[in-house]
Amino acid sequence: MKHLLLVLALIPISVFAFLTSIFPSSKASDLIIYQDSLASGWENWSWGTTVQFSNTVPVHSGNASIAITHTDGWGGFYLAYPQALTGSDYVAIHFWIHGGTQGGQQINFGLNDGGETYSITLTTNWQEITIPLSTLGNPAQIDSLVWQNGTDHAQATFYIDDITLTGNPVSPTPTQGPALSVNVAANRHPISANIYGMNFPDADLAVELHLPVARWGGNSTTRYNWQLDISNQAMDWYFENYQENAAHTRLDQFIEQNLATNTQSIITLPLIGWMPNNLPNACGFSISKYGAQQDNDWQWRPDCGNGIRTNGTPITGNDPLDTSIAISPADVANEVQHLTTTHGPITFYNLDNEPMLWYDTHRDVHPTPTSYDELRDRTIAYAAAIKQADPSAKTLGPVTWGWTAYFWSAADWASGGNWWLNPPDRNAHGGIPFTAWYLQQLKAYQDQNGIRLLDYLDLHYYPQANGVALSPAGNSATQALRLRSTRSLWDETYADESWIGSAAEGPYVRLIPRMKEWVNNNYPGTKLAISEYNWGALDHINGALAQADVLGIFGREGLDLATLWGPPNSDQPGAYAFRMYLNYNGLGDHFGETSIQASSTNQDQLAIYAAQRSSDNALTLILINKTNLALTSTLTLQGFTPASYANVYRYSSADLHHIQHQPDVPISAQGFTMTYPANSITLLIIPPNQAALLNHLFLPALIH
């Protein structure tokens, strides 16, 4: 290869142009997946199915075909390609299929898990099947082929031969993209490093990303006994106590990992008034004590039920002492003192986790729906104890789960019927939305006592559209919805495409501007946090695009802290979205810390985020192509004198395991035109013009 590159380097440009014209590189080759044997790199991940790859009768061509028997209903013949192929390199899937001596089998063919499918009814002869990828949603990547049983019962053996992905005859012609603009002098404000946080991150990934903040959160942290290292899993797992690692507590290990990676900790402290007792195998709804139930932990602890009787009614009147002991604010203060003495001051404390759901998630100890007054009173009592134990601690509350808890209390929606038309608890508090009222109460406390008990307004947010949050990539419609739904974080014109769209207080979520208004109107100076969020598909390029978009929105909109729930593994696409902001080249270089004005005439197609970096005054741009087309856009630049080039780093479906360092691109003082590949995240680093930078740095000194 080195010799070939040397020869090409010596060829005159005109000759090279001639050679590339007669040997075009744009056509993707056909990819043979099966022809007498399975191609290298493909793996059999079938379920409910037996597969023989060297069947000799019948055969369409060559010496062998694949014999497939769906032994279970909805079973699947599943060929996986873990490295994933770029979808735009291919236009169709082609194969031959035979129904054997019976025929009539119902088969649904699809690409990737959860994608769109194509139905086939088999005959007793060979059928040639060609399915355009457009019929299957034009997936950005191809990581599997699935022939699924279309029935709920076993089917007769059938045969497949000569499987090929048909190469795209030409590279996609770039489409005119939206106009882009950047003004370095406008809308400048700091980007908080703490927006790039995670819940329970992998230690190696935290080191690589220089992760700024990590959260100890979730339902099991509401009831955690730090002295015994026992947690209660709440309704997530049959209300069971669980012994963590009593010799060296899981909480201590979490904090020590953060200290080792120079990551700040957010620790959830209980406001619920209970923590697990010293019975690590106890559960809230023992079947032997409370009777038969609809479900139980049949595999591990069969006596532990789900708290629902066989007739569908919840068990009431159970004894909280089965699993727990009552605690007070003083007990929480003792925990803070222990952590501070053991590890040094902890930066952040969550005031419990989703307390408006206690009557559901922790109903074995808190069956009564949480009200406005209860959460205020518990917040004041426990936050005051935390602040007394460590005056430097920063608190985050009310840590509510989502939309209904922003505006009402659990006591409202538990009242039943069309509760939102006449919510009793909200009405008893002047009709004020819960979050606004909560902030007013904490401000009143500070006005009366001179102590700020709440440092961050913390709301959880999971997009409510079907198939988005905490979900696989889904089909093309779901993937497009995932990318649109990030607008709910900021766009006052975006009507939410979920039940919120027709709910009270809907349809416009505009979450971060709404949070700012609540703070400015009710408790100025309170910072903004979203300590749980998730847009799903972090194992897929679609989820990486959404995650990169979310991080850009957080910085542009001025959020102060955010921690992703269910973070990706280090090798998943979602991790690369974080790398693009925090360590794009493996050397610790990152996106800028000062947000500046950047706009796209169509943020749904090509989103742009811009920041200036303090270490070298470089302009850093993140551009996210959310479409299946290559987009060519012109960017106009103001307020900045650039160098003549930009460094380019890109993550895309072309290589899901690396951020690729692309060749530099030319830049003028007015801007540039560039093509952004389909389904890609592009980072541009534009250094300042050195002469202009020297003038900026030294001319004021010379004038003085």
Q: Which amino acid is at 626?
A: K
Together in a domain, 666 and 544: no
Q: Which two tokens stand for residue 607?
A: 């989103």
Q: Coil, strand or helix: which one is 16?
A: helix
- Is residue 618 a part of any domain in this protein? yes
The shares of helix, strand and coil residues in the chain, as percent rounded to the nearest 5, are 30, 30, 40
Q: Is residue 87 part of a domain?
A: yes
Residues 510 and 544 in one domain: yes
Residue from 91, 93, 141, 95 nearest 115 by CA: 141
CATH for 672? 2.60.40.1180
| Res. 113 pLDDT band, cuts 50 70 90 | confident
Mean pLDDT value of segment 189-217: 97
Indicate whether 338 belongs to any domain: yes
pLDDT band at 694 (very low <50, low <70, confident <90, very high): low
Q: Does position 25 have pLDDT exceeding 50, yes or no?
A: no
pLDDT class of 653 with cuts at 50, 70, 90: confident
Mean pLDDT for 551-577 is 97
Q: Which of 579, 601, 628 lies at the terminal end of a domain, its last residue?
A: 579
> For 61-73, what is the mean pLDDT?
95
pLDDT band at 622 (very low <50, low <70, confident <90, very high): very high
Name the pTM for this structure: 0.80
DSSP element (H, E) containing 254? helix 250-260
Residue 141: burial class (beta carbons within 10 Å; 0-12, 13-18, 19+): buried
Q: Residues 126, 198: one domain?
A: no
DSSP-derived secondary structure letter, 436: H
Is 417 contained in some domain? Answer: yes
Specify whether 211 is located in the same domain as 355: yes
Identify the domain boundary among 322, 350, 372: 322
15 within domain boundaries: no
With contact defined as beta carbons under 8 Å apart, do 294 and 243 qualify? Answer: no
**Are 197 and 270 in the same domain?**
yes
pLDDT at 693: 52
Are 135 and 242 in a shared domain? no
Based on the domain organization, do 250 and 330 belong to the same domain? yes
The DSSP secondary-structure symbol of 118 reads E
Q: Which residue has the tokens 């060979």?
A: 126
Same domain, 252 and 180: no
Same domain, residue pair 440 and 548: yes
* pLDDT band, residue 112 (cuts 50/70/90): confident
Query: What range does the domain containing 212 cover?
Result: 192-282+323-579
Give the pLDDT score at 699. Answer: 40
What integer pLDDT is reported at residue 132 of this predicted model? 87
Q: The CATH number of the domain where 327 resides is what?
A: 3.20.20.80
* pLDDT in the model for residue 656: 87
Nearest to 236 by CA among 316, 313, 306: 306
Do 432 and 540 lie in one domain? The reply is yes
Domain count, the chain: 4
Alpha-carbon span 362 to 274, nearest angstrom: 10
- Asked if residue 476 is part of any domain, the answer here is yes
Is 1 part of a structural domain of the chain?
Answer: no
User: Of 579, 603, 622, which closes a domain?
Assistant: 579
In this prediction, residues 485-499 reach a mean pLDDT of: 98
Distance separating alpha carbons of residues 252 and 343, to the nearest angstrom: 8
Beta bridge partners of 158: 68
248-291: per-residue pLDDT in tens?
899 999 999 999 999 999 999 999 999 999 999 999 999 999 99
Residue 9 lies in a domain: no
- Give the least confident one: 81-85, 356-360, 572-576: 81-85
Q: Evaluate if residue 1 carries a pLDDT over 50.
A: no
d(CA 361, CA 655): 41
Nearest to 289 by CA among 339, 239, 349: 239
Residue 498 has pLDDT above 60, yes or no: yes
Residue 48 belongs to a domain with what CATH number? Answer: 2.60.120.430
Could you report the per-residue pLDDT of 229-249, keeping only the tens digit for each? 999 999 999 999 999 987 789
Q: pLDDT value at position 172?
A: 62
Q: Please give the average per-residue pLDDT across 171-185, as a whole number.
A: 90
pLDDT bucket at 140, cuts 50 / 70 / 90: confident
Determine the longest span between alpha carbons in the chain, in angstroms: 95
Residues 6+ apart with CB under 8 A from 61: 35, 161, 162
Q: What percent of the chain has pLDDT over 90?
A: 85
Residue 519 is encoded by which pair of tokens?
A: 């703070």
What pLDDT shows up at residue 13? 30
Mean of the per-residue pLDDT values for the chain? 92
| Angle of CA points 388, 389, 392, to nearest 5° | 80
Q: Is the pLDDT of residue 696 over 70?
A: no
d(CA 262, CA 255): 10
Local confidence band at 442 (pLDDT 50, 70, 90 cut-offs): very high
What pLDDT, on the 0 to 100 scale, is given for residue 334? 98
pLDDT above 70 as % of the chain: 94
pLDDT of residue 382: 98
Asked if 148 contacts 130 with a C-beta cutoff of 8 angstroms, the reply is: no
DSSP state of 226: T
What is the average per-residue pLDDT within 393-422? 97
Q: Please report the pLDDT score of residue 20 as a whole number.
A: 32
Q: What would the mean pLDDT of 326-334 be, rounded to a whole number?
A: 98
Could you give phi then psi for residue 81, rounded to 5 degrees?
A: -125, 90
pLDDT at 106 over 60: yes
pLDDT in tens, 352-392: 999 999 999 999 999 999 999 999 999 999 999 999 999 99
Whether 464 and 542 map to the same domain: the answer is yes
Q: Are residues 309 and 266 in the same domain?
A: no
Which of 657, 679, 568, 682 has its CA nearest to residue 84? 657
Q: How far apart are CA 574 and CA 545, in angstroms?
A: 8
Confidence (pLDDT) at 457:
99
